[in-house]
Amino acid sequence: MSLLLIDAGNTRIKWAIAQADSFNLNDKWVKSGHINYADLNESALSHITKDLSSIKKIIYSSVVSKEKIEHLKFLSKATFPSASWHELQGGSALSWLKTKYITPEKLGSDRRAMLIGAANLFPHRNILVVCAGTATTIDLLSSNKEHLGGLILPGITLMSQSLHTGTAKLPHVFSDQTPLHPLSLGCDTQSAIYNGILASQLGAIEIGKLMAHQQNLPLDMVLVDGGNAELLINAYQGTEQILFSSNLVLKGLLAWHHQDYI
């Protein structure tokens, strides 16, 4: 039996197909990809399962509106008629991955999935889990599987867009083609914005590390995922090990499936 894992993010839908009996989160997906919301239709969904056995379970995390998910389910009926849907939420898997969130169910499902993925990929480690996406999230995970809280700030692209739209002349400097540069003082407006935004993101990571230190929690690593992960990792100047882990939400969904036997 195959599983369809879906990460419904702010910008697009990421998906992967895994074998139901695959317990190793480092295994390669059977198939994976992404769909922009503007391109979401039955044809795009049927392409996912081309030449593959029938999907029996769909396991998903969503940070988008209920209407968008209902639309996805509606389009999926023809392609996955017998599949059961299972949503990971902020309060899922609390029996084995605790959180200090005052209202656990208010923890974003994407952050919950990333924490589950990180805890399974790197057990018994103190980890700062960073998602560099539309928003940048920074979460502290202890070696005894407890989420100690986190930070949320606008992502790199949002920061650049806000400067561009909120002022008369400042350029929008980040795009998919933005080259990697080491962090430095900018000697023109373009590079000053580039380095200023990166510095704010890296500064938030340093604050996360400081808060770990204040709780007597020696960090083992900084784990980064998301569309802007490469920019942050390239500019990072800390002493802790920094690692890139792609599709951490999808890996967390797979781990949740095995932990809770949904």
SS (H, E, C) the chain: CEEEEEEECCCEEEEEEEECCCCCCCCCCCEEEEEEHHHCCHHHHHHHCCCCCCEEEEEEEECCCHHHHHHHHHHHCCCCCCCEEEECCCCCCCCCCEECCCCHHHCCHHHHHHHHHHHHHCCCCCEEEEEECCEEEEEEECCCCEEEEEEEEECHHHHHHHHHHHCCCCCCCCCCCCCCCCCCCCCCHHHHHHHHHHHHHHHHHHHHHHHHHHCCCCCCEEEEECCCHHHHHHHCCCCCEEEECCCHHHHHHHHHHHHHCC
- Mark whether 51 is an active-site residue: no
**From 21, 27, 110, 188, active-site residue:** 110
Catalytic residues, which ones? 110
